[in-house]
Structure 1
């Protein structure tokens, strides 16, 4: 069984693994000077954040990753634009473009993506996200409710796929209306991108089962993932389709387990009381996935090992780096073994990450991927 493994590109910045207070390149403080109020170096030596992202993409490509996730958050650059730049810097690297369908017309998305497919020989794919609600969702100007967002996403993907092969395609839905739409040649001849679909609610699983090639989830305790994979596959098979599963997970991998946990401990011990208090906070918004992750964490945390959920699984990653809560910590062999266990539970692909992304792309590619059974 072939397992695809992707890397993450830090378009959101590169926070230090241990949250030290020195300026770090991932905050895009490039150049020889000090950061200005704009977040850019006051003296530019010609090496910019986009050059750094290109280095990461090339490192991942060299190290055996199939491509990289290009995140989409309020603080990131636009993933389609980043993909277009990186296409000229890489040869085989695939661009997993994260986006929320509610903020883009499906015909525009089809033209943009088909153009990228044509220019790159079919290297684009999607991470479709539907949003976590609350203030973060309102930042985008979106006040739609939880289930309504998934209904809208489903309609968007109906239209996107419908117009892809040239049409004429007409559609009358609640959110989208199209008359005789379709891509023109040669865009209509391009390969439709694979869809990685994120979301943990019943509404998310229903939409994933209809549209996705891969159901994508954050790491959770392994027993919970087994149950989640079974649910989405059952729903998909009821529609006469097949779906694969993927796990997005941060890792800390070192030559020995002791070294890996030492990295965690150093970061944890630098946390301020206010930062540590975040361990007990529950996420805002209506994201079921975020709630599932936070719900596995103890309410009182005083030591880093209070956050060990099961062997090599630590639930404090968002305290050190932001982002998802759970990750894998251990020796190279142990990290590969935990990933292999996830494959046995039903995972068909992974999106991995570790900071700093450049050095860790080489480390993980050289030390972990060769130990992962089924990696191609």
Structure 2
């Protein structure tokens, strides 16, 4: 049994990968052709982007996804607040909230999360992100160095679990100080959310091996993923833990492989060739790893296919990680099955636009997997 999540775009959406321009959501000016709000009779209607996110959630739920990832960026709504709204409109769908522990006190986070667990009958999941440095990290006012950020995340998770109860907790740590912290009985009785933890550096692997339920990675060439997972397993064995494994993957699947590649060619035609060689900003080891797998010379869309069906150009067509899967429905399902053979226990999938692709991927790809998908 594999858990498959779908990404819920928190900052608007593109109509396709052919043009990198958002037309869905209220984060960009509303104009003819926009959705949520839509331009009607010369002015925007009153439909909000939150309603569109709910449409995506319902599409994903009906298509067989167990839950949805709510990403967090400086330019998005807060995922905890958004989850509170969406939880009330659903009954079984899980919400994976992305957040950076550096900006929350362990007890305050426990009170927020346990309240959501009570509200949503235990359907909250964590995507713990430590931050990739660079301008985005400084936007938050965070000047902590790379390895120290992971040490802070580890201390946060240890303290966060400790205060999730009714016994008073004292902590005088390197990053956090608590005195007599505890939850009220009704909140303490709620289940602690499953933790998906990402990071590729030695510091990240050390923290993940100790504290995560699922070690989460962006998609990479499969041999590189295998080596990274083996490093996590090796460190976890020393610590006496047994994390599961998950991969975040963009998917472009069509009835024929040629249709899928034609879609990428159409989008790739608008990419500035000078951008293809640009190294990622910040000190993210994962982003640097992804860039290192790409060829030095790129003349055609297929030059970024590092192995069958694994394409490294998605970051040039939309925001997010570089690698995803491309092909016909059977080919993409087969590549997902190959990842399951690496020991993957969960996927976080995505496609543009999120609404239509939730139906397509759920109905045409998930149904072709060789193992059952938890609904």
Q: After the TM superposition, which residues 74-153 of structure 1 pair with which residues of structure 2 at under 5 Å, given as runs? A: 74-153=74-153
Is this contact kept in 2: 1:28–1:48, CA < 8 A?
Answer: no
Instruction: Name the CA shift for 1:81/1:40 in 2 (closer, same or farther; >3 Å).
Output: farther
Aligned counterpart, 1:10? 9
**Secondary structure, aligned partner of 2:43:** coil
1:62 is matched with 62
- Aligned residue number for residue 226 of structure 2: 226
Counterpart position of 2:244 = 244
In structure 2, the CA distance between the partners of 1:278 and 1:167, relative to structure 1 (3 Å rule), is farther
The alignment partner of 2:185 has SS state of coil
Q: Distance in 1 between matches of 2:229 and 2:22?
A: 41
Q: Distance in 1 between matches of 2:31 and 2:265?
A: 32
Q: Which residue of 2 aligns with 1:72?
A: 72
Change (3 A) 1:22 1:8: closer
8 Å Cα contact 1:166/1:182 also seen in 2: yes
TM-score, normalisation: structure 1: 0.94
Partner of 2:313: 316
- Runs of 4 or more above 4 Å deviation: 26-35, 39-42
Rounded to whole Å, the distance in 2 between the matches of 1:370 and 1:243 is 27
Conserved 8 A contact 1:4-1:349 = yes
- Match of 2:355? 358
1:6–1:65 Cα contact (<8 Å) kept: yes
Q: CA deviation at 1:259?
A: 1.0
1:219–1:248 Cα contact (<8 Å) kept = yes
| Aligned twin of 1:334 | 331
Contact 1:170 1:179 in 2 (8 A): yes
Q: Secondary structure at the match of 1:98?
A: strand
The answer to whether the Cα contact below 8 Å between 2:18 and 2:263 also exists between their aligned partners in 1 is no
Residue 269 of structure 1: how far off its partner (Å): 1.4
Query: 1:298: which partner in 2?
Result: 295
Matching of residue 289 in structure 1 with residue 279 in structure 2: no
How far 1:299 moved relative to its partner? 2.0
Query: Given the superposition, is the C-alpha separation of residues 367 and 269 from structure 1 closer, same or farther in structure 2, using an over 3 Å criterion?
Result: same
Q: For 1:237-276, what per-residue CA distance to the aligned partner results, in whole angstroms no more than 9, with x for missing partners?
A: 21111110000010101111111111111111122x3xx3
Residue 77 of structure 1 and its aligned partner are, at CA, apart by 0.8
Give the whole-Å Cα distance in 2 for the aligned partners of 1:124 and 1:30: 32
Distance in 2 (alpha carbons) for counterparts of 1:265 and 1:31: 28
Give unpaired runs (5+ residues) of structure 1: none
Which consecutive residues of structure 2, in runs of 5 or more, have no partner in the other structure?
Answer: none
CA contact (8 A) 1:18 1:270 kept: no
